[in-house]
């Protein structure tokens, strides 16, 4: 008889305990069942169904085109795979900016139709009403400050944000506001490490950095980037843990040549 060990799920409370005890939080994106299975089995704390799916899954230049329905499709595939990690899903561009009622109904759809555990939303003080309204429905919210890719046409470039005093000051105020409202964590994207350090120390909730240095309470990367599937994307903050483009491309080339050479399938590979 096999004895099944209960898997202890990661919750927003676990993440808070990790911050309190100084244990770093590991977060990575996933967008489909198979990848999410591998990521969860590897011991990830948070799996983010990011709107970066718009780039890496659909081939768009920005995160703006992905729809709420498409995010729900990706998220429900991930949720079916995950046994331990907390699954956080991005509210996509256009699904919350209109007003707080729209923000709440988008968040409810993500929780109800995908079975997600929390939502992430880009912005600070200007989205406070939406964040509060989502929170009052019992939906955990993660903030996202610094480089917020849904505003790329306002920024004009993907360079480091908050390098200057005024923007750094606004980011600190936004972070405090999100904490006050009740967010359980905040992603800090592409800001100076010193600023991320200061923000992380001033907040009681965890910060998760991407291109924000080592002093954040956790780190997040896009899975296609860190596995080297996305060959051309090599920003300074990215550590590439594998070169899967080359591994997969090599394997596929071998398959093509075996088929052409009539070497696949062989006697043992047929009925
Ligand atoms: O969409 C995404 O993958 C993200 C991460 C870069 C934090 O928001």
Which CATH fold topology does 12-240 show? TIM Barrel (3.20.20)
The label of the residue with tokens 């911050």 reads: 19
* Radius of gyration for the chain, computed over Cα atoms and rounded to the nearest angstrom: 20
Give tens-digit pLDDT for 156-175: 999 999 999 999 999 999 99
DSSP 223-242: HHHHTT-STT---TTPPP--
Question: What is each CA distance from 271 to 59, 258, 266, in whole angstroms?
Answer: 39, 19, 10
Q: Is the CB of 187 under 6 A from ligand 1?
A: yes
Please tell me the distance from the alpha carbon of residue 241 to that of residue 239, in angstroms, as a whole number: 6
The label of the residue with tokens 């070497």 reads: 263
Q: Is the CB of 51 under 6 A from ligand 1?
A: yes
Give tens-digit pLDDT for 93-120: 999 999 999 999 999 999 999 999 999 9
Please report, for the chain, the start and end positions of each structural domain, with discontinuous segments joined by +: 12-240, 243-271
- For the record, the structure tokens of 39 come out as 């990521």
The mean pLDDT value for 51-77 works out to: 98
Residues 92, 95, 98, 104, CA torsion sign = negative
Distance 138 CA to ligand 1 centre (A): 23
Q: 32, 28, 36, 131: which is closest to 73 by C-alpha?
A: 32
Does the annotation count 189 as an active-site position? Answer: yes
Instruction: Determine the atom of ligand 1 nearest the C-alpha atom of 27.
Output: 7
pTM for this model (two decimals): 0.97
HSE-up of 83 (CA within 13 Å, CB side)? Answer: 10
- Binned at pLDDT 50, 70 and 90, residue 232 comes out as confident
């Amino acid at each position: 008889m096999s004895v099944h060990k209960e898997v202890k799920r990661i919750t927003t409370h676990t993440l808070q305990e990790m911050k309190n005890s100084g244990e770093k939080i590991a977060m990575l994106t996933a967008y489909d069942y198979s990848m999410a299975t591998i990521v969860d089995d590897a011991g990830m704390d948070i799996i983010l169904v990011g709107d970066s799916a718009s780039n890496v899954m659909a081939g768009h230049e920005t995160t703006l085109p992905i729809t709420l329905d498409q995010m729900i499709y990706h998220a429900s595939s991930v949720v079916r795979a995950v046994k331990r990690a907390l699954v956080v899903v991005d509210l996509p561009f256009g699904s919350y900016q209109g007003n707080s009622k729209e923000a709440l109904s988008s968040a409810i759809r993500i929780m109800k139709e995908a079975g997600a555990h929390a939502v992430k939303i880009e912005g600070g003080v200007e989205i406070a009403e939406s964040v509060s309204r989502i929170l009052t429905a019992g939906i955990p919210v993660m903030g996202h400050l610094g480089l917020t890719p849904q505003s790329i046409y306002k920024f004009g470039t993907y360079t480091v944000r908050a390098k200057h005093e005024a923007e750094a000051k606004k980011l600190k105020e936004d972070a405090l506001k999100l904490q006050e409202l009740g967010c359980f964590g905040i992603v800090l994207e592409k800001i100076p490490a010193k600023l991320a350090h200061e923000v992380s120390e001033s907040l009681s909730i965890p910060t998760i950095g991407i291109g924000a240095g080592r002093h954040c309470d956790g780190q997040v990367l896009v899975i296609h980037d860190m596995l080297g599937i996305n060959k051309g994307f090599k920003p300074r903050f990215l550590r590439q843990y594998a070169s899967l483009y080359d591994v997969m491309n090599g394997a596929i080339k071998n398959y093509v040549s075996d088929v052409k050479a009539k070497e696949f399938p062989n006697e043992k590979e047929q009925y």
